[in-house]
Amino acid sequence: MTDKQLVQRLLTSADIRIGSGRPWDIEVHREQLYARVLRWGALGLGEAYMDGWWDCRELDEFFHRILAARLDERVRGDWRLLLGIAYRVLTNPQRKAKAFEIGRRHYDIGNRLYRVMLDGRMVYTCGYWREARDLNQAQEAKLELVCRKIGLEQGMRVLDIGAGWGSFARFAAERYGAEVVGITVSEQQVALGRELTAGLPVELRLQDYRDLDGEVFDRVVSLGMIEHVGYQNYRNYMRVVRRCLADDGLFLLHTIGGNRSVRGNNAWTERYIFPNSMLPSLKQLGGAVEGLFVVEDLHNFSADYDRTLMAWHENFERGWPAIEKDYDQRFYRMWRYFLLSSAGSFRARRNQLWQLVMSPRGVPGGYVSIR
């Protein structure tokens, strides 16, 4: 069986054809694509798309189908990809010395890009679409949901680990009168975030979470940051949070999660989008919080990330002419691939979105879940 025949057989099991013209079918421009995918798996597929070797009108639906059919588990790629896993087992790629790499390589690639792509508050995490009609409403609803879940009140001091451009800090200060300290490892996020929160009781710092010491807060939130912490550091991360949280406080963790425990990332995502990152499982998070926190509430609204990513993609496509001089065509294809493949993964329920509310000693009388 030729490489092409093998790939065709795999795709057929996901109801995907080559050159048939349906929105989720693929058009192949280079016959070498088949060998590249069979040899390098996810990395080969993504790099081939960036290089223009194949196209698809609806990448999100293409990925929905191949991930729902679990084709990624049937095409593992060359043995050399296993070296990445071995590297993570033998080392700690999320160690403190590398803490700022994700900031430089992902979040510092241009504030103009993120201003074009995100909502008006620049929230770079999943929106809450329960009653929302557009992205701005979905992100406002998510920020409000977080504030209500932690019982935020005027004058409370809040720590935001992974503060981004200060979207939550700004919302909590404006709507609830909270005082917020936010930390991030991105220089550009700090610079713009300080502009956006000027005049509010908000302090944004360029700081690694491991350097937090000596301050105690009424509440701690972390929205979409633990994905960069790494399984070897989850326990230490939770110890830092516990050290920073008052005994009667609440901690809200918002994170993308995986259905299985892993020790690394998709090879393409690791190389081009989120270096030194990985998705935690509930098993890994449970082990990390054991003896430190009582899990009061677990809320999964992962289907909302599909809608959020599709909204980001729509904004990105619409705004591309305004920023394309800052990038090149390969970046455009890379970023499009990132957004739409991620949407397909959530649609296939291969990725989850969890919000966990935790307390150090248990809420007296019980915690009332908020949705």
Q: Which of 18, 46, 77 is the last residue of a domain?
A: 77
313 and 245 inside one domain: yes
pLDDT band at residue 94, thresholds of 50, 70 and 90? Answer: low
pTM value is 0.93
116-143: pLDDT as tens digits: 999 999 999 999 999 999 999 999 999 9
* Contact between residue 168 and residue 184 where contact means Cβ atoms under 8 Å apart: no
Higher pLDDT, 168 or 84: 168
18 and 152 inside one domain: no
pLDDT band at residue 264, thresholds of 50, 70 and 90? Answer: confident
Please enumerate in sequence order all residues whose Cβ is within 8 A of that of 27, keeping only pairs 6 or more positions apart, or say none: 18, 19, 54, 55, 56
- Supply the pLDDT for residue 368: 96
59 and 119 inside one domain: no
221 and 266 inside one domain: yes
Task: Name the percent of the chain lying above pLDDT 70.
Answer: 93
How does the average pLDDT of the chain come out, rounded?
Answer: 93
pLDDT at 228 over 80: yes
- Supply the pLDDT for residue 163: 97
Torsion angle (degrees, nearest 10) of CA 80, 85, 90, 93: 110
The span from the CA of 241 to the CA of 254, in Å, is: 14
- Supply the pLDDT for residue 74: 74
pLDDT band at residue 82, thresholds of 50, 70 and 90? Answer: very low
127 and 37 inside one domain: no
Determine the structural domain holding residue 33 and report its residue range.
Answer: 3-77
The span from the CA of 58 to the CA of 242, in Å, is: 44
Neighbouring C-alpha atoms within 13 Å toward the C-beta of 15 = 7
The span from the CA of 9 to the CA of 60, in Å, is: 21
> CATH number of the domain that 105 lies in?
3.40.50.150
The span from the CA of 231 to the CA of 94, in Å, is: 9
pLDDT at 84 over 50: no
* Contact between residue 159 and residue 244 where contact means Cβ atoms under 8 Å apart: yes
- Supply the pLDDT for residue 57: 97
Average pLDDT over residues 285-313: 98
Average pLDDT over residues 192-199: 98
The span from the CA of 277 to the CA of 342, in Å, is: 15
Cβ neighbours, 10 Å, residue 260: 8
Q: Which of 45, 77, 109 is the last residue of a domain?
A: 77
pLDDT at 146 over 50: yes
Average pLDDT over residues 64-69: 96
- Supply the pLDDT for residue 214: 87
139 and 282 inside one domain: yes
Residue 324, in any domain of the structure: yes
How many domains are contained in the chain? 2
pLDDT at 95 over 70: no
114 and 205 inside one domain: yes
197 and 244 inside one domain: yes
Cβ neighbours, 10 Å, residue 133: 8
- Supply the pLDDT for residue 18: 96
The span from the CA of 130 to the CA of 252, in Å, is: 19
Minimum mean pLDDT range among 34-38, 152-156, 337-341: 34-38
pLDDT at 77 over 60: no
77: tokens are: 């790629």
203-226: pLDDT as tens digits: 999 999 999 988 999 999 999 999
* Contact between residue 185 and residue 204 where contact means Cβ atoms under 8 Å apart: no
Q: Which of 46, 77, 108 is the last residue of a domain?
A: 77
pLDDT band at residue 96, thresholds of 50, 70 and 90? Answer: low
Residue 343, in any domain of the structure: no
